[in-house]
Amino acid sequence: MTLQNRERADDWLISEMLRASKSQDPGVLMVLESVFSFDLSIPVNYLFESFGGKVLIIQGMKDPLLNFESKLSELGECCIGIEIRELDAGHCPHDERPEEVNSFICEWIVNMERSLLPC
């Protein structure tokens, strides 16, 4: 399991992870495979720039699946309109630390609304 805060791993979450890993959903193998063989031929900064909006990235820094530390630094330097929030969590920060994730999202929304209002 990739959760760092194991108290948040309730029976429902565990059963969903097991269900997905046993391929009971159509296409789950293709999705899981794409996560590990992800080959993006278009640079991420180009995708963000063509999107044209603001982006909030909330990343668990103890995610054992991916090493995001260097990637987050690169994203922050080369992509305009990205706000990165790091959490002391694993792969599923929204499950492990939902209060902090919700706080980040609410704060980000307030800031976005404030930036859209005329002065």
Say which DSSP state 38 is in.
Answer: -
> First CA to last CA across the chain, in angstroms?
48
For 14-35, what is each residue's pLDDT tens digit?
776 666 666 566 676 666 666 6
Q: Range of 84's domain? A: 6-116
Q: Is residue 112 part of a domain?
A: yes
Q: What domain count does the chain have?
A: 1
Do the domain assignments include residue 95? yes
Do the beta carbons of residue 58 and residue 85 sit within 8 Å? Answer: yes
Token representation of residue 41: 């031929």
1 domain-assigned: no
Which tens digit of pLDDT belongs to each residue from 73-112? 777 777 778 888 999 988 889 988 999 999 999 999 999 9
- pLDDT value of residue 35: 60
| Residue listed under structure tokens 């790091």 | 86
Tens digit of each residue's pLDDT (9 = 90 or more) over 31-48 = 666 666 666 667 777 777
Report the pLDDT value the prediction gives residue 21, as an integer from 0 to 100: 65
